[in-house]
Amino acid sequence: MTISNSIKTTDANGFHRNSRCRAVFLHAAITLTLATQCTVFAAEPVDSGTAKSWSMTASETARDVAARAAEKPALDFSADLTARKSYSIPALEIFSFDFLLNQHNRRYISDEYKSNLSSIRHNLRASWVVDNDPFSTNQLGHPYQGSIYHGFARSAGLDYWGALAYTFAGSAFWEVAGETTKPSRNDQINTGIGGTFLGEALFRLSSLMLEHGGGTPPLWRKFSAAALSPSAGFNRLVFGDRLGTVFASRDPAYYSRIQIGFSGTAKND
C-alpha cells in the first residue's frame, strides 16, 4: 500500500510537471508569433493609393453635392428687395390710408372722427389717456389697422425694424390727427406694436402663398396673397415688378389645418 501510494504520488507529480512545461512552451510560442506579426505589420509601408482613393471619393462627393445645390437655385430675394427699397412710398401710403379711413369714419361711424386743425393742435398738447373702447375695437381693429401700415412698409423693401418704425409713426399720426378724442396709450400699443406682430405674420404668409406658386403664380394664389396682406397686394398691383418681389421664406417648416364644425342648443319643453 505504501509503495503503491508513493508510485501514484510520483506519477501525479510528474504529470503536473509535464503539464506545466507544455503550458509554458505554448505560451512562449504564441507570444513569439504575435511579436513577429506586429513587427511585420509595422515594417509594411502604408498604401498611399488607398488613402488617395478615399480622398478622391470624398472630394467627388462634395463636388456632386455642390453641383446638385447649384442646379436648384435658392429663392433668396433679399438683395433684390434692398435694391428696390423705398422710404417715400410707404409714408405717402400710410398718410393716404389714414386720411381715407378718417373720411369714411366721420361720415358713417361717429362725429368723433371729424378732426380738424383745432383738434390736432389740442391733441398735440393733451396728455395721453387710456380709453375704454370695446374689446373688438382695441384688440382686433387696432392691430389690424397697424398690420396695414406694416404691410405697406414691408412690401416697399424695408426690413422688420424699419416697418415697425413706420407702423408706430402711423399709429401716432392717427391718434393725434385721425380722432378728436385725446390720444390713447393703449391704442398706440395695440396699433403701433401689436400691428407689427400681426402684420409681419400676414406679410410672410402672403409671400409664402406666392412663393409656392412657382415663377408665375396662378390667379387664385394672387388673390389669396392679397387677402392675407391687402397693403402688400396693393403695392404688387400698383407698382408691378418694382415692389412685386416675393419675400424669401427659405423653406420654413409649417403645417396647415382646416377645422369645420357647428354647434347648437336644444330646449326640451
- The least confident of 94-108, 121-135, 200-214, 253-267 is 253-267
Question: With contact defined as beta carbons under 8 Å apart, do 199 and 149 qualify?
Answer: yes
CA distance 209 to 228: 9
CA distance 196 to 168: 9
CA 77 to centroid of chain Cα atoms? 15
pLDDT of residue 217: 78
CA distance 131 to 126: 14
What are residue 184's DSSP bridge partners?
129
> CA distances (Å), 228 to each of 49, 90, 217, in order?
61, 18, 15
Global pTM reads 0.66
Closest CA to 254 of 224, 216, 212, 225: 212
CA distance 228 to 85: 22
Per-residue model confidence as pLDDT tens digits over 25-51: 555 555 544 444 444 434 444 455 554
182 contact partners, CB below 8 Å, separation of at least 6? 123, 126, 127, 128, 129
Across all residues in the chain, what is the average pLDDT?
78
